[in-house]
Amino acid sequence: MNELDQLYQQVILDHSRERHGSGALIDPDGQSHQVNPTCGDEVTLGVRVVDGRLRLAGWQGEGCSISQASISVMHDLVDGADLATVSRLEKDFDALMHSRGRGVDAVVLDDLEDGAAFEGVSQYPNRVKCALLGWMALRDALAKAGVALPAEQT
């Protein structure tokens, strides 16, 4: 294992242990419960949106280190961000996860910050669902809050 792989593995382990944003959100504008039926990972994520910004996101979940770390990283990226940024980051992470290890542009990796650690996960299709679980919950919670991400608006 090279140094970069070791660093990325450590980022995932750190986030799975120290789960940023973990905790139920009281009176969310929207909430979503998602389950990965292939492995049993699950998350309940709540959001509060104010003036076009994701002002608060909170979650509770159980599952493998990849799913839990991905949700923690996602929280760091989107909590407090404007909806255009949330939309861009969601698309970037999705592109990374579907790259099948071929990589993505360095600018995308920079924007994803700790999310870049999941680049190796993209090589394992059965683990991609784990990494995307929180992002699916986020999109659904926003929809339930009546918020369409900018790219979805007509």
The pLDDT tens digits of the residues spanning 106-140 come to 999 999 999 999 998 999 888 999 999 999 999 99
Q: Map residue 94 onto helix, strand or coil.
A: helix
Alpha carbon distance 69, 106 (integer Å): 21
Give the domains, in start order, of the chain with CATH numbers: 3-147 (3.90.1010.10)
Residue-wise pLDDT tens digits, 42-69: 999 999 999 999 998 999 999 999 999 9
**CB–CB of 72/21 below 8 Å?**
yes
Q: For residues 7-46, b (16+ Cβ closer than 10 Å) or e, as one string?
A: ebeebbeebbeebbbeeebeebbbbbebebeebebbbbbb
Q: What is the pLDDT of residue 9?
A: 87
Burial environment of residue 154 by CB neighbours within 10 A (0 to 12, 13 to 18, 19 or more): exposed
Q: Which two tokens stand for residue 109?
A: 């990796």
Q: What was the pLDDT predicted at 154?
A: 41
Asked if 22 and 52 count as a contact pair (C-beta separation under 8 A), the reply is no
The pLDDT value given to residue 131: 96
Q: Quick check: 103 pLDDT over 90?
A: no
Q: Give per-residue pLDDT as tens, 23-47.
A: 999 999 999 999 999 889 999 999 9
